[in-house]
Chain A
């Protein structure tokens, strides 16, 4: 137990610190790197919860793909972020209000809130019954059977979002020289090379 507690405080501590650094770091690239560190530590917390499948997916999807694209974009920005931050202090009151509301709600839930016994029925898969199998296995057992509808709809929404992003950002540029491989392959020497007979002293 001591080791678990130690690991928890380590992961949670680094997570909070790096999350703080994401918003306070001066250099945007450093911010993204701290964001990656915080993703990584939250994956560690998932492992401690025994949800190793989600932890690995977290690392593969967020750290391995999403954050790479973040970093890719942020690296190429040429904006002076100190100029952008000049008016940031104006938003502090609003931020404090929203933050305190969220904090209040969290405190309310964890201190006074009582769940009625019938809430048990609203939980996903009441009763469990997944003891003794790995959680990747457990997810596999239900996601394509009990939740196939919700799962497919989620996939469809992502698909629509992807198409939307492509449609919004796509623009046809003129003057782009594209390689047409079929054209290159089907070209014959006789179509493009012409042998001229030149008599000496005349030129072409």
Chain B
């Protein structure tokens, strides 16, 4: 049978335990709106067996956290970051391509309509000047598309470089928090590391391996970004162009390795760049094929001054850079009478050249001889549309997944003010009861001491 001093010890132990509980509930309430916060709990342990045969004590403060769920959250953050950036980059490109006066299909179509109209007015200076203007509008449209693609690729480069800098900062922060956890596994530090890991996953993908102060952050390609207290750096290197492309490397001391990731915002930007490079190639090929096919026919017909053999569009030696250099021949741009529309030797009323040039609209001379120039121009826009829709769907699915996981996380780790208030009151009442118990024991002891 324990004595009164032992009861006093039980009581003071209980007060301390309830104070810990109060501290935990207060801490939770104080962090009600802290992003990434996991509610804490204090487990009270009763000591029923010998040597104490009674009493209660508080265990260490622990987090409501599920490692498996956290892992899935990080993976989802990687996919969410990838699809969001892909969608943003492609949508921005689409916006750029839509701005200005119409796209390539519209300009191409207007140009061919101008040729058609010249069939009926082959020698008319007004119609010829209008055709030269439409040709200029077509050239501008092709160059504008090319510029839109190149500036979008460059914007992605800048983003990737920014992400690399941020990933390096986060890797160092991860290692630094690891060091703190090694010394003191405070739940706040664990929360911090989880937050960092989630942001890192969103940027470059990857997972946290381990839960202690030696935890590692490993990327999807297996490269280790953080190993315990040591962090590697993520650096962006420009692959020479044009257009130059930013590529990421993991730099760990003297060792460098290429970062190949299919997750995170970096992957989203890289995938967008791949799509843009494909489009750039398509637009170049379209411009190259169109200029060559048109010039080949145009050279065979005579201008109003009787001359022939002139190119209508300036052409490049290869398809690469053809869109950027797509221009109307400067002499034709300055004098529309030089447009060749008649058979050599015929008069200005002959329209055979314009008919032959107009017929190019329907001939399968683009896409490797499979479709018309108009269809090719449309397919470039259509493929971008499908890419944006695909990215949008992926982003929606990722967001939904995020929401589900956030819901699961909230169900486990989220703070409910009602619950915490109830806990606070329960601990407070228990604490008051323990204090009363101590006071009673204290008064009993006092009475006993007075009677001696």
A, B: real partners = no
B interface residues, Cβ below 8 angstroms from A: none
A interface residues, Cβ below 8 angstroms from B: none
